[in-house]
Structure 1
Amino acid sequence: MCGRFALYADYNVILERFDIEQASFDEEEFEQSYNVAPSQQVAAVISDGSKNRLGKLRWGLIPPWAKEAKIGYKMINARAETAAEKPSYRNAFKKKRCLVVADAFYEWKKEENGKTPMLIKMKSGEPFAFAALWESWESPEGETVHSCSILTTGPNKIMESIHDRMPVILSKEAEKIWLDPNVQDVELLKSLLKPFEEGEMEAYEVSDAVNSPKNNNPDLIRKTS
């Protein structure tokens, strides 16, 4: 699964990396985070077919038919293998796909003496994107909430020793297809949702301070061993 990640890239680097033509927030409103947790706002890229837009989505998808927002806490991730068929995700899979921007993600490795937090990132150090789905939900009070789920798949060789799932990270070529709302071929879309090339990634142990979402500083991404 993917339950915590980090986004600390420069705002303008993100705009350039994802070919952003329009953003719902400017550089002053952009907040770097070394410990992004469920229910928080995440930076996401959506396309109308001609231009990419950068906005914010609540992490934890709330289906349009939900009675309460708290269902989103159970829907931070969606399995790539079944999302296209699940009632909660089926419509979004065809029509509401997005990218969640990140620089790294965390996973906890089970060991004899407990769980060890690990950080996984690109060797290049550049930001990347998780494949995600989004939806809009209207609360009983009339508030509209835009939310998302990050898709997960099986592990690559780096992740195998850490966890049996990993978030779907798309290649730059796959990002374009995933974002295109005119693409609705389910089998083509599912073919994009595979483990990322392990040769481009690295993983290392970090401080257990990351265990608490209350901790949020650059020390969290530093290697401890």
Structure 2
Amino acid sequence: MKQIVSSFSEAVKEIKDGATIMVGGFGLVGIPENLILALVESKVKDLTIVSNNCGVDDWGLGLLLKNKQIKKMVGSYVGENKEFERQVISGEIEVELTPQGTLAEKIRAGGAGIPAFYTPAGVGTPLAEGRETRVFGEKEYLLEEGLTADFSLVRAAKADKMGNLVYNKTARNFNPMIAAAGKVTIAEVEELVEPGEIDPDDVHTPGIYVQKLIVGQQEKRIERLTTRS
């Protein structure tokens, strides 16, 4: 059985200043919002965050950004976050922008124990300046290294007590690969069931990758709400 914690503050208590943390989600979809709130309340700082984007100004990773708890952001999309833009321009935060597919593969490779791989994305752009490239089949490829983290924070719709996770539709996004790439993976789940209640064919993340579980309800905010007039 996995460690099942009763509070979000307890779930993140091992995360200290200077940690590297991967966070699941795409926009605000599938983010472990309560774990992020617990990090905000813990006031840990100098964090390196690896995530597709940095939330919005008032929710998700944007809250850590607002509190200036993030030292470096590794992602692929700045998005609608004005505070992120301001901190980048002012030099208050270090940013490593990576093509989205490359970011996904860097995380997947890290979780699979693959130290590096070659990709055509970025060849001939400033991204490749000063970096190793090789030619395969008359085409040039850029060397990229796999990514791992001290902690991975993910969100799932359902888990059993063995840590097997099921994600809900597009909320799966970066979560499965991030779950595999952390030394310690903490899963925020909406429903916790007994072992055997999840069909093995339905498991998206095997429990071997998960160290802690916590149950919580999410607000599931919409990043940009559009309604008819």
Which structure's CA Rg is the greater one? 2
Which of the two has greater helix per residue?
A: 2
Which of the two has greater strand per residue?
A: 1
Structure 2 length-normalised TM: 0.28
Structure 1 length-normalised TM: 0.28
